[in-house]
Amino acid sequence: MRLAQKNALITGVAGDIGRAAALRFAAEGATLILTDIDAHRGQQTLEALGKQAGNSIFLQADLTSEAEIVALFEKTRQHVDRLDILANIAGGDYEAMIGFDEMTAEGIARNLSINLTSCILCCREASKIMMEQMAGKIINMCSVNYRGAPTPMQHSYAASKGGVFSITRGLAMNLGMYNVNVNAVAPALVDVAAIKDAVGAEMWEAISTDAASRYPLGRIAKPEDVANCFLFLASGESDFISGQIIEVTGGARL
Ligand SMILES: NC(=O)c1ccc[n+]([C@@H]2O[C@H](COP(=O)([O-])OP(=O)(O)OC[C@H]3O[C@@H](n4cnc5c(N)ncnc54)[C@H](O)[C@@H]3O)[C@@H](O)[C@H]2O)c1
């Protein structure tokens, strides 16, 4: 068991990638603090762990609220005696399908809030615990779009993930002396219901087929491909890796 005796907080567990990470971490023996703004689907993820749930819990939180983030980590401290792993997965593009000339301050703020500010604040709260215990692993969710959106859309999302790239590298340098590793995972297109639902079946077919034809491995990612990378970065196998942004893109250089 690669995460035996480890406690991990995972955000975004109502989504496909967060759920896949929860299932993977639990199968490797971790006790989980699962969180999401969507309590109904978050609870379903906890239930999906079955017998592997053990002492794991689900806590609802809106990660765009600093107060709720602070409360989440306080409750985490009350539930477990250590926090070994933080997997910051919650996020998404909330200004999708918007051309550059249509961007609004509100849409930009929303993307920065859920993808970047929440990530930084969760890192802040986790690092307080991890610095005290002189050990920990933080894994942030980036995106290949951190290099800049390749289309006329997704600019505020790309900028927010560029921020995740930056905070990951910076914190890795700051927290290394406390034996805390900070890394990020940067997927290309992943097969998730959230995007399918947002764009509709026909558009999804076009987008995913086009992406698969451009990725050298000939397909887009499954949520499990991304969860496996989170697991590697959470496990002892990555003990000497920090400050890295690992691209899960099937070989594509977007
Ligand atoms: N799907 C892709 O192609 C892809 C590619 C690269 C990166 N990512 C990243 O992966 C992560 C997970 O995305 P996904 O594809 O599984 O989508 P998803 O929408 O299924 O999952 C995102 C989760 O975040 C939660 N969330 C949103 N706002 C929240 C808030 N204010 N507080 C707490 N939780 C909140 C949602 O409820 C949802 O469960 C995101 O950070 C996304 O940017 C996705």
Q: What is the CATH number of the domain that holds 28?
A: 3.40.50.720
User: Cβ distance 45 to 18 under 8 Å?
Assistant: yes
Cα(185) to ligand 1 centroid in Å equals: 13
- Answer yes or no: is 212 within a domain: no
* DSSP symbol at 143: -
- Answer yes or no: is 16 within a domain: yes
- Answer yes or no: is 148 within a domain: yes
Q: What is the pLDDT of residue 14?
A: 98
- Answer yes or no: is 175 within a domain: yes
- Answer yes or no: is 108 within a domain: yes
Cα(91) to ligand 1 centroid in Å equals: 4
Pinpoint the alpha helices (H) of the chain: 16-27, 39-48, 66-79, 105-111, 118-133, 155-175, 193-199, 201-214, 223-234
Q: What is the pLDDT of residue 98?
A: 87
Q: What is the pLDDT of residue 86?
A: 99
CB of 14 within 6 A of ligand 1: the answer is: yes
Bridge partner list, 58: 34
Q: What is the pLDDT of residue 96?
A: 82
The tally of domains found in the chain comes to 1
* DSSP symbol at 229: H
The two three-digit tokens of residue 9, written as one number = 């907080």
CB of 68 within 6 A of ligand 1: the answer is: no
Predicted TM-score (pTM) of the model is: 0.98
User: Residue 157 catalytic?
Assistant: yes
Catalytic site residue from 94, 146, 157, 215: 157
Note down pLDDT in tens along the chain; length 254 residues.
999 999 999 999 999 999 999 999 999 999 999 999 999 999 999 999 999 999 999 999 999 999 999 999 999 999 999 999 999 999 999 998 889 999 999 999 999 999 999 999 999 999 999 999 999 999 999 999 999 988 888 999 999 999 999 999 999 999 999 999 999 999 999 999 999 999 999 999 999 999 999 999 999 999 999 999 999 999 999 999 999 999 999 999 86
- Answer yes or no: is 33 within a domain: yes
Torsion, Cα of 114, 117, 123, 129 (10° steps):
-100
**CA 245/CA 242 separation, integer angstroms:** 9
Domain that holds residue 85: 7-191+222-248
Closest ligand 1 atom, CA of 68? 32
- Answer yes or no: is 186 within a domain: yes
CB of 90 within 6 A of ligand 1: the answer is: yes
User: Cβ distance 89 to 13 under 8 Å?
Assistant: yes
- Shortest-distance Cα residue to atom 18 of ligand 1: 15
**CA 41/CA 29 separation, integer angstroms:** 22
- Answer yes or no: is 208 within a domain: no
Closest ligand 1 atom, CA of 145? 6
The two three-digit tokens of residue 7, written as one number = 């406690």
**CA 118/CA 130 separation, integer angstroms:** 18
